Amino acid sequence: MSMPITVVVVDGHTLTRYGLVRLVTADADITIVGECGLAAEAPALIASTHPDVVVLDVALPDADGLQLARELRDRHHELGIVVLTGQAGDDVLFRALETGVSAFVGKTAPNTEVLGAIRHAAVAAASFTATGLGPALARRGQAGDVPFGGSVGAQPACTALSPRELEVLSLLATGLSVPAMAATMFVSLSTAKTYVSRVYEKLGATNRANAIMTAMRLGLIKPELGVSA
């Protein structure tokens, strides 16, 4: 039996934190090893408990949650970071992506989505996932923005994607987590991670957002739908 995923929860709202702890502990594969309500308390708690994943609110009482996420990413490269937010809007999503978090989830999301984000963060800390990422990137592209330091005219070194890799690209565009992609494709988690890496390499991308934007420019996926063309 595999070891459970260990999680620290950082949220300034007591009731929200209590609900998160109850939700997570109801899953046999996930264990809470710590919780706190302030950004100032989080670094020491994480350093002492060594969790696989930290789940934190974007708006903490004493600090910007995304700033805390950036500091944690700089200190703990393998730490999965899930950001919860009650703030709608593409700008917050893009800030989260640029910060280097693993997953971005709305506080009104279904329980399964929250748990899925935690599982994704535990196995693919450096791979960003968020529901609606593809359409958000399409809106940004239509507005004339070039996100994350990319160049509109840039072309990848190789775009000869196999049918399986095109399927992976389609799933990336939907915002599906890596574990969910593995289940959808009926492959192992390690195989799914390998496919994702190959897609990034062939598109000359360093993350999911880069891959999706490149694929949109090449017509490999439809911006308005986030599915294979």
Residue 221: what pLDDT? 78
Q: Give pairs for 217-224: CB < 8 Å, separation 24+.
A: 217/152, 218/156, 218/159, 220/159, 220/161, 220/166, 220/169, 221/134, 221/169, 221/170, 221/173, 223/134, 223/135, 223/137, 223/138, 223/141, 223/142, 224/135, 224/138
Q: How far is Cα 83 from Cα 131, in angstroms, rounded to an integer? A: 13
- The ranges of the chain annotated as CATH 3.40.50.2300 are 5-131, 134-228
49-53, 191-195, 212-216: least confident range: 212-216
Residue 209: what pLDDT? 80
Say if CB 199 and CB 178 are below 8 A apart: no
Please state which architecture CATH assigns to domain 134-228: 3-Layer(aba) Sandwich (3.40)
Overall residue count recorded for the chain in this entry: 229
- Rounded (10°) angle between helices 189-203 and 208-217: 50
Single-letter residue type at 112: T
- Sequence-distant (6+) residues with CB within 8 A of 175 are 129, 130, 131, 132, 133, 134, 226
- Mean pLDDT for 138-160 is 52
pLDDT at 212 over 50: yes
Residue 143: what pLDDT? 57
pLDDT at 50 over 90: yes
For domain 5-131, give its CATH number from 3.30.479.10, 3.40.220.10, 2.40.30.70, 3.40.50.2300: 3.40.50.2300
Residue 158: what pLDDT? 47
- pTM over 0.75? The answer is no
Order the strands of the 103-106 sheet from edge to edge: 30-36, 5-10, 53-57, 80-85, 103-106, 129-130
pLDDT at 198 over 90: no
Residue 49: what pLDDT? 96
